[in-house]
Amino acid sequence: MTTPAVQAPPEVVTFGETMAALRAHSVLRLGGSLGLSVAGAESNVAIGLARLGHRVRWAGRVGADELGALVLRTLRAEGVDTDHAVTDDTGRPTGLLLTEPRLGTLTRVSYYRAGSAGSAVSPADILPALASGSRILHLTGITPALSPSAAEAVLAAATTAHDAGITVCLDVNYRSRLWTADRARTALRPLLAHTDLLIASEDELPLVLERSDAGESQAVHSILAAGVNEVVVKRGAHGATSFTAHGTTDCAARQVDAVDLVGAGDAFVAGYLSGLLHGAGIPTRLQRAVTTAAFAVATRGDWEGLPTQDELGLFDQPDGTTIR
């Protein structure tokens, strides 16, 4: 009798709300065609990591509807473990977002997620997904904005993972349409005690501090003093900077023709965590992060253009290269 193979634990666990995404090709009020896909900050990161060859688990809730089935089918097709995803049987629907291009790379996003299945996520849904042997728990500041139970789930997961020696990564990822800066600060500050790696844009750093008027240097110093091991600041087209107690490392962005900026931050996180999982030093992690972000901005969609491991070197090929 053949003994079943023991499945290795996921290297990364993440959770949050993944929604159906309707993408317009022109202004919504003028009508026209829409493309249907899925999107969510955490699942974007999960797909990015899976494409780079990592074992990733996504947990959360979806509605017992066709859009929920689409979410789960898409994640599974991308190699993401959804064994701990919950299909809500209470009638809550899968959330929906609409994107429309406005000016160049400026995109307007409308959310329909109030009362959604994803917003009802709770610690009971998430804690079983944390596996012994996992190396990273990835969180964003979007999830605690969805509901009190979602905020409770984020804090419980961060506390449990940190106590178990799992690296906790928090991407602030502030969404002003979900909550105010003051509400975000109240929910995010307690997470610092359980966070090892904080990722944020320059303007998001004050959201984890008691004082909202702190400059970047003061903010980073305060965050490191709170016990966070590393702060990575995303600077968009100007690259990124890593801060640790041992010093500062800068990395320039890849120069590409931007097509769609949505999902670039998630792609950056996926690249950075991939480098961390491979044991790379900070300069190499940052280089991988800006590379995966460049793939995102050079293609349309939140995650569709993210690279596989063997595609990471494509930006180093001369313009006009045809790979045969």
Output the pTM of the full model.
Answer: 0.94
Helix (H) or strand (E) holding 189: none
List, in sequence order, every residue forming a beta bridge with 139; answer none if it has no partner. Answer: 170
Catalytic residue among 266, 302, 310, 316: 266
* Mean pLDDT, contiguous 10-residue spans, the chain (324 residues): 70 98 87 91 98 98 98 98 97 94 79 95 97 95 97 98 98 94 95 97 92 86 96 96 97 88 92 98 98 92 92 81 72
pLDDT of res. 323: 72
Domains of the chain: 12-16+41-91+121-310 (3.40.1190.20)
The reply to whether 250 belongs to the active site is: no
pLDDT of res. 249: 98
**CB under 8 Å to 175, separation ≥6 — which residues?**
141, 142, 145
Sign of the CA dihedral 310, 312, 316, 320?
A: positive
* DSSP-derived secondary structure letter, 209: S
